[in-house]
Structure 1
């Protein structure tokens, strides 16, 4: 594909000198020279790799040169080994027509694109099967190559085999399409090449394109179907090397081009587009080489633990508010975006070529769906196109208008017009950005009722979006270096807008019933869409992106044509877009002060409606699996309670009334066992009845009564709790200090993550603790064996039958690559968030032992935990505790808080984890 343009070739390997030394060895030792021969070849391979590794360090972005260098190294080794086998070991002094062999490089080796640990894919071509001389030579070569430690992908075929298999197998056909002569009988290579083009390719061009595109689409789906996943596969992922290779395969198959540069000559690319192709390819190849060098294997997934190292190797530097790794990954995603744009342009040309061929022959020649005019644009075959090359120059507002028409009419933008829009996007200047008509058209795209997500993505691909909204351009291809966010900021934003459109159409009612109802009740749907667009607009600027984003909103909303009231609402939503999730996931929703504080910041039912909708789409757009029924339940509880308070102006009932209402509802749920409420109502205490949901309280009462009737000293119940998408673990035991951290340790050892905990002590001296538990993937335990393992692990922890600390320290991190991130522990005390408790929030690296260690530190500092709320954000955990001292009072003394902070920081630190692991 690139040709072997390798500078200073003999510094990599000197084939003639190597062949001379091999001849000497053979003359001296004959067939016994093998060990020395292997050592000599290994040294040549090692020296070549060292030279290329040094070149990669010196020129870290020279992907083409390095990959061609590795291909050159393999070429020369294959030639030397072939000559040794055919001239020294098995010389054919009077060879028959069957005693001929050709070595053909296929796959990446055929394109001369080899990373340090790529497989060496070769085909041995022979005139016929079963020739003893050919078999001896091939076997000798393979054993020598394996002795060198190379991964060889090989086949041995005749010309007839090659043609037959190429016709029936797309993978073999593609490999042979890239076949490159390496050594041996060149006439044999020429013969198979001519037969391949005449017998396999001719007449199958359209079929090949269709099959290749189906193969590509299936691969994209397998890899996440987005070029903006934050741990991309640089070879197989969307926008990766395989996409560029697919373009080359298709171009070569149809036009028989010999190199990618020839794609310009046949009109598939302009010279500018070809340069973009080469830049993207060279960068991706270089990244792949660095990845192979770092891992010591054929690795193609650009995971977090290597991103930082490759950014350093490729000389990306820190910038204000943006780390080197974030700049490197932003550049990576920009290249992936170029690949996507090139693919659209390329395929449009192919489509047009086939269409023209169809028009030129056959019964339906000349017949095609007639184009129609739409406001001056040409609409044909479901696509909208600019009628002339200077269309956007005549009126740059059309750069926005074409996308508005595409959204409104459910049309695709013709790739050739996408190319024009990309080329002419520089016409978007300050005047156009301030143009009322252009802004009205943009707002229509954003709030479109068909598919705004797809059209905004096209606008982004064409560089129109980022130029028209420069603040959005700043987050284009910007990643966040953490394990929580699955996509770049621009992709996350566009997905959030798409989710909002789906919710409005009722397509996500099963997962988002509340948001589906609320979107129909908001005063301005424009507010909902603009808030979704702007909620993360200020990321990567240094400082609080919510506050900075609100400032952006105050400037942009009037430009978009929003009213003063709409602007105020959007700015508030951007400023507070994390408020609802932080309150629902980190605070005790049964504490009246939590609701009072939340309502004080929300202030109106309209704000609450918008905030609930935005919170839902924001969480779901983070990535697969981030939205679950547990989060939906918590957000729903917060919404309902806050909405009631906003509607009535106060809590509906006082403490006494709330306790009575809860007890009545529990009695209704218990049916024939309703007498348990009367029997144990006062024993549980008012705090219990306010804190626990009625369905859990009903379960608790049955379990508690059974335990007391049997005089059980320890009662553990584990059951799948469908309403919360978690497992409910209830532990009833004689209350004693340290009970909570021991239970937590037992749950962790069984592989469980605690997401919520409520700790109660009855007036009879019994602890009644409820835990909501999930596995590390956010799923509930529900199989009998899993539930039994949970029970046994908790019982063993409470009975001191297992050494908790060392066992927990040995458990792997929930995210194996989380050590790639710098997560510094932080402790926040809040004595205003609750009327009765001190609220302590600890942010630290997520690990199985974390909650146990923090709970133990609180116990050792003489504090009582009343509830715990655990939230994980990828590699980072936020654990919140509602605590009192042993007298039931808050912790307010500065000296004690300082001591407590030090204890919690030590418990959460990586150093403590390392010591425990070594113990």
Structure 2
């Protein structure tokens, strides 16, 4: 069979959709083995030479577009260059990816001794053709050298693994995970195999092999779908990959992948720690006495850098032992030994309800540990101990987020939020309720009902189990039920309207403690959601709302709506004098502020937003005010440059003048800019469909339109133009950019000063806004 025929046969296999991922890999391995062995025989590769597969082909894990990793071994053959040419060139000519080398046995062993990557590859070597004794000789020598030299190479192996994890990130929690190189990916399974080959750990267990099979299947289908080698599962490919694997949708696929990757990641972390302990000792080190077990807490000691149980510790007699071990690990930064986790998993009974006070104290100590909490909870969860403490956790475990702003699975998000809340405990009177509230605020997700409502009942249930007093349980339930109240109100309502503040206070039954907890939780929740979600502007809005609520709770009068500052008033007066727009740029704050004053007529907001976008300014927030005395509209934008520096205010004003008098076609200019300045590294993924929500403004009767959409250059301009063309008055606007998404709110009223648009008008306006944002 010629190499071209090999490529054609491979194409036929890829076209057979009835072949599942495992069968396709097996067929591809058989096909390449057959061609290579036939080719080797045809060119005389028999005695004193051997063709060996390493990498994916060596492991029999060949995905459709994986490169072939081949080693030509020879024992002094004079025609080895000819053999290499007649093997490699046909493969290259057929367009088959190839990584190759030619070695004598001595050279192969020497390279394995000096090059870690080569050593890991040769540990997986598989004979393809030629002299099998030569392959066996090299394989045995490499394995023996690996076992003998592992003590000197272990640090290099561990450091390379840690660097890879830091660089690539987790498979389990990435929106677009790297199935091969990520933490919990296929390379970590190969790491475990290498440690087992050094006789430091056992071969990976059935759970890891099952996880490996899923990772391989997903990678195989990703190659088949993409038509090229690809290790990163992009969001736009996930639905098709899920369908090929007969998984319901991309969310179920993400959940399955998360569980598999966490299994592999945990096994790899434990494997590295266990291997380090098992390293053979040489020379004087072999004569040293075993390390002393250092007491850390009641029933908990440190041994070889890990947290382990004291010899007389018993989870049956000591109900707080599991949480004490976890809290000690988080406090000291040391991992819990795998043997200790498994022993506790086998022996620890469920805590009686309500929990003993000692167990509750240890839980709060664990939750207050900050970032160290994350790894400890992960180890408890991987061994079933966390689910034994919180059975409700099963519904959110590995649950993928539905909101594009979230970067973590729901369970990891909860732990991250708790870690963030640990930094904020000094701000509140009840840090214990803040920590538990952060841990449980999204516990109601993964069910069909409103997660805040379901979460309240679950939080009450858990609070009673933990042993909180009934009054504290009620506060905990309120915190979970209303954890979105402050951020939603701050970004959807006019905070200067007394009715807005009164509604929040009434919703919280006038409870100042709940208000304080919610303010801190809003920050922890946003920080644990993803980059850009917690911004200075959002902090200002929520802080302002909370201060106004405290003022009302204290029985004091709310502050009157803030008047325009003196500089903004001057801009408005200048607009009234000559009818031309004015611009002020304040660079003294980060992000910067741009104040724009224009004649109060339709089109002003759209023009101002368009000019800012044209000058590469990203709008994080916008405030709309009307200077009634001067018939001028004043917009305050919080902005930052997408790249470069801030523009000259004179240029902004010049373009704004041209836009308002029709000499600058903003829509066309912004369309060109969007084509020319697409985000660097954009994957081509179609944006999520925009969505519109409506809310009623209780005080004025106006309506609040909230747009959720993927951010684009000029989006605010297009939406504002659609609203102004719809014949409504925009009383105020709140614009918030959350990473790649925006949440924009506009208060809309009839121009005659009446209430908000009716149902028919809302449908018309909504259609116009969705068209503009789509």
**TM-score, scaled to structure 2:** 0.88
After superposition, what is the alpha-carbon deviation per residue over 1:874-902, rounded to whole angstroms, capped at 9, x for unaligned? 66543211233333x1334xxx5233322
Residue of 769, 774, 779 corresponding to 2:635: 769
Report the CA distance shift for 1:343/1:791 in structure 2 as closer, same or farther (over 3 A).
farther
- Deviation at 1:276? 1.0
Report the CA distance shift for 1:787/1:118 in structure 2 as closer, same or farther (over 3 A).
farther
- What is the DSSP-based 3-state SS (H/G/I as helix, E as strand, rest coil) of the residue aligned with 1:909? helix
Report the CA distance shift for 1:714/1:390 in structure 2 as closer, same or farther (over 3 A).
closer
Instruction: Tell whether the 8 Å contact from 1:116 to 1:289 is kept in structure 2 after alignment.
Output: yes
After superposition, what is the alpha-carbon deviation per residue over 1:378-414, rounded to whole angstroms, capped at 9, x for unaligned? 5423433246799556777644443345456665321
- What is the DSSP-based 3-state SS (H/G/I as helix, E as strand, rest coil) of the residue aligned with 2:637? strand
- What is the DSSP-based 3-state SS (H/G/I as helix, E as strand, rest coil) of the residue aligned with 2:735? strand
- What is the DSSP-based 3-state SS (H/G/I as helix, E as strand, rest coil) of the residue aligned with 2:18? helix
| Equivalence for 2:27 | 69
| Equivalence for 1:490 | 411
CA distance in 2, matches of 1:836, 1:345: 60
Instruction: Tell whether the 8 Å contact from 1:103 to 1:181 is kept in structure 2 after alignment.
Output: yes
Report the CA distance shift for 1:627/1:839 in structure 2 as closer, same or farther (over 3 A).
closer
1:599 maps to 2:501: no
Residue of 137, 151, 170 corresponding to 1:206: 151
- What is the DSSP-based 3-state SS (H/G/I as helix, E as strand, rest coil) of the residue aligned with 1:413? coil
Instruction: Tell whether the 8 Å contact from 2:723 to 2:769 is kept in structure 1 after alignment.
Output: no
Mapping for residues 727-766 of structure 1, pairs under 5 Å? 727-754=592-619, 755-761=621-627, 763-766=629-632
- What is the DSSP-based 3-state SS (H/G/I as helix, E as strand, rest coil) of the residue aligned with 2:85? helix
After superposition, what is the alpha-carbon deviation per residue over 1:643-681, rounded to whole angstroms, capped at 9, x for unaligned? 333334321x5x4xx6xxxxxxxxxxxxxxxxxxxxxxx
- Deviation at 1:485? 0.8
Structure 1 runs not aligned, ≥5 long? 1-17, 19-36, 256-265, 318-323, 505-515, 659-688, 915-919
Report the CA distance shift for 1:433/1:227 in structure 2 as closer, same or farther (over 3 A).
farther
Report the CA distance shift for 1:790/1:297 in structure 2 as closer, same or farther (over 3 A).
farther
| Equivalence for 2:284 | 362
Instruction: Tell whether the 8 Å contact from 1:720 to 1:781 is kept in structure 2 after alignment.
Output: no
- What is the DSSP-based 3-state SS (H/G/I as helix, E as strand, rest coil) of the residue aligned with 2:19? helix
| Equivalence for 1:380 | 303
Residue of 357, 360, 363 corresponding to 1:443: 363
CA distance in 1, matches of 2:764, 2:453: 33
- Deviation at 1:906? 1.6
- What is the DSSP-based 3-state SS (H/G/I as helix, E as strand, rest coil) of the residue aligned with 1:880? strand
| Equivalence for 1:326 | 251
Instruction: Tell whether the 8 Å contact from 1:48 to 1:73 is kept in structure 2 after alignment.
Output: no
Instruction: Tell whether the 8 Å contact from 2:53 to 2:125 is kept in structure 1 after alignment.
Output: yes
Report the CA distance shift for 1:789/1:561 in structure 2 as closer, same or farther (over 3 A).
farther
CA distance in 2, matches of 1:219, 1:801: 54
- The range that moved more, 558-567 or 743-752, is 743-752
Instruction: Tell whether the 8 Å contact from 1:104 to 1:125 is kept in structure 2 after alignment.
Output: yes
1:148 maps to 2:79: no
Structure 2 runs not aligned, ≥5 long? none
1:886 maps to 2:747: no
- Deviation at 1:740? 1.6
The structure with more radius of gyration:
1
Instruction: Tell whether the 8 Å contact from 2:369 to 2:422 is kept in structure 1 after alignment.
Output: yes
Residue of 343, 357, 363 corresponding to 1:420: 343
CA distance in 1, matches of 2:36, 2:656: 62
After superposition, what is the alpha-carbon deviation per residue over 1:228-277, rounded to whole angstroms, capped at 9, x for unaligned? 2333221111111111111112222x13xxxxxxxxxx8625xxx61112
CA distance in 1, matches of 2:316, 2:94: 61
1:627 maps to 2:495: no
Report the CA distance shift for 1:314/1:420 in structure 2 as closer, same or farther (over 3 A).
farther
CA distance in 2, matches of 1:180, 1:878: 55
Report the CA distance shift for 1:548/1:116 in structure 2 as closer, same or farther (over 3 A).
same
- Deviation at 1:638? 2.4
- What is the DSSP-based 3-state SS (H/G/I as helix, E as strand, rest coil) of the residue aligned with 1:121? strand
Instruction: Tell whether the 8 Å contact from 1:67 to 1:285 is kept in structure 2 after alignment.
Output: no
Q: Determine which structure has the larger helix proportion and give its number.
A: 1
1:572 maps to 2:478: yes
After superposition, what is the alpha-carbon deviation per residue over 1:529-570, rounded to whole angstroms, capped at 9, x for unaligned? 111111111111112111111111222212211112211211
Mapping for residues 86-485 of structure 1, pairs under 5 Å? 86=43, 101-127=49-75, 133-197=79-143, 200-201=145-146, 203-224=148-169, 227-252=172-197, 254-255=198-199, 268=202, 274-317=205-248, 324-354=249-279, 357-358=280-281, 362=284, 365-372=287-294, 375-386=298-309, 391-392=314-315, 398-407=321-330, 411-424=334-347, 427-428=349-350, 432=352, 434-436=354-356, 439-440=359-360, 443-448=363-368, 451-485=372-406
Instruction: Tell whether the 8 Å contact from 1:739 to 1:798 is kept in structure 2 after alignment.
Output: yes
Instruction: Tell whether the 8 Å contact from 1:106 to 1:179 is kept in structure 2 after alignment.
Output: yes
CA distance in 1, matches of 2:637, 2:401: 32
Instruction: Tell whether the 8 Å contact from 1:467 to 1:473 is kept in structure 2 after alignment.
Output: no
| Equivalence for 1:320 | none
CA distance in 2, matches of 1:104, 1:49: 25
Report the CA distance shift for 1:190/1:801 in structure 2 as closer, same or farther (over 3 A).
farther
**TM-score, scaled to structure 1:** 0.75
Instruction: Tell whether the 8 Å contact from 1:862 to 1:886 is kept in structure 2 after alignment.
Output: yes
Report the CA distance shift for 1:407/1:913 in structure 2 as closer, same or farther (over 3 A).
closer
Instruction: Tell whether the 8 Å contact from 1:553 to 1:571 is kept in structure 2 after alignment.
Output: yes
- What is the DSSP-based 3-state SS (H/G/I as helix, E as strand, rest coil) of the residue aligned with 2:129? strand
- What is the DSSP-based 3-state SS (H/G/I as helix, E as strand, rest coil) of the residue aligned with 2:10? helix
- Deviation at 1:787? 7.6
| Equivalence for 2:553 | 646
Cα-Cα RMSD: 3.6
Report the CA distance shift for 1:632/1:224 in structure 2 as closer, same or farther (over 3 A).
farther
Report the CA distance shift for 1:580/1:764 in structure 2 as closer, same or farther (over 3 A).
closer
| Equivalence for 1:637 | 544
| Equivalence for 1:507 | none
Instruction: Tell whether the 8 Å contact from 1:535 to 1:573 is kept in structure 2 after alignment.
Output: yes
Report the CA distance shift for 1:315/1:243 in structure 2 as closer, same or farther (over 3 A).
same
Instruction: Tell whether the 8 Å contact from 2:185 to 2:265 is kept in structure 1 after alignment.
Output: no
CA distance in 1, matches of 2:654, 2:110: 62
Report the CA distance shift for 1:699/1:104 in structure 2 as closer, same or farther (over 3 A).
farther
CA distance in 1, matches of 2:187, 2:504: 50
Instruction: Tell whether the 8 Å contact from 1:831 to 1:890 is kept in structure 2 after alignment.
Output: no
- The range that moved more, 810-819 or 711-720, is 810-819
- What is the DSSP-based 3-state SS (H/G/I as helix, E as strand, rest coil) of the residue aligned with 2:61? coil
| Equivalence for 2:39 | 81
- What is the DSSP-based 3-state SS (H/G/I as helix, E as strand, rest coil) of the residue aligned with 2:594? strand
After superposition, what is the alpha-carbon deviation per residue over 1:141-166, rounded to whole angstroms, capped at 9, x for unaligned? 33321222212222334445434443
Report the CA distance shift for 1:623/1:782 in structure 2 as closer, same or farther (over 3 A).
same
Residue of 636, 660, 669 corresponding to 1:798: 660
Instruction: Tell whether the 8 Å contact from 1:104 to 1:182 is kept in structure 2 after alignment.
Output: yes
Aligned length: 766
Instruction: Tell whether the 8 Å contact from 1:345 to 1:416 is kept in structure 2 after alignment.
Output: no
Report the CA distance shift for 1:122/1:719 in structure 2 as closer, same or farther (over 3 A).
farther
CA distance in 2, matches of 1:159, 1:382: 40
Report the CA distance shift for 1:716/1:126 in structure 2 as closer, same or farther (over 3 A).
farther
| Equivalence for 2:457 | 551
After superposition, what is the alpha-carbon deviation per residue over 1:512-544, rounded to whole angstroms, capped at 9, x for unaligned? xxxx5x23xx1x221111111111111111121
